[in-house]
């Protein structure tokens, strides 16, 4: 189920102070990047990903990450994307 505008706004506020935990390099979105993002989402639920110059635009890279991990993109601001994926158990985000 996609996020509502109100949920996105709340997640953006929570993610404002976060530092990027995954950096997409010049190779673009690879299987290794997808695996790293999946692990980070499992650990934190809400993460930032920095997208550097590569073979894809930042919009394409962000869309591939969201599709590959099953996460929702809460924000794409400049080269930094904010992703959210709620855990099935022990989630900090019960109202999502």
Judge whether 91 lies within some domain: no
Find the domain containing 49 and state its range. 5-84
The total number of structural domains in the chain stands at 1
List the CATH number of the domain containing 12: 3.30.110.60
Q: How much is the pLDDT for 1?
A: 67
pLDDT of residue 2: 84
Residue 49 domain-assigned?
yes
Determine, yes or no, domain membership for 92.
Answer: no
Establish if 94 belongs to a structural domain. Answer: no
DSSP states of 24-56 as a string?
E-TT-S-HHHHHHHHHHHHHHSEEEEEE-SSSS
Stretches in the chain below the pLDDT threshold 50: none
pLDDT in tens, 50-77: 999 999 999 999 999 999 999 999 999 9
Residue 90: the pLDDT is 84
Residue 50 lies in a domain: yes
Q: What integer pLDDT is reported at residue 44 of this predicted model?
A: 95
What is the Cα–Cα distance from 86 to 74, expressed in whole angstroms?
A: 12
């Amino acid at each position: 189920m996609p996020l509502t505008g109100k949920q996105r706004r709340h997640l953006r506020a929570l993610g404002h102070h976060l530092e990027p935990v995954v950096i997409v390099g010049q190779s673009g979105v690879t299987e290794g990047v997808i695996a790293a993002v999946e692990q980070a989402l499992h650990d934190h639920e809400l993460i930032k990903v920095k997208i550097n110059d590569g073979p894809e635009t930042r919009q394409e890279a962000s869309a591939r990450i969201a599709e590959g991990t099953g996460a929702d993109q809460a924000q794409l601001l400049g080269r930094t994307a904010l992703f959210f994926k709620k855990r099935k158990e022990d989630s900090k985000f019960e109202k999502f």
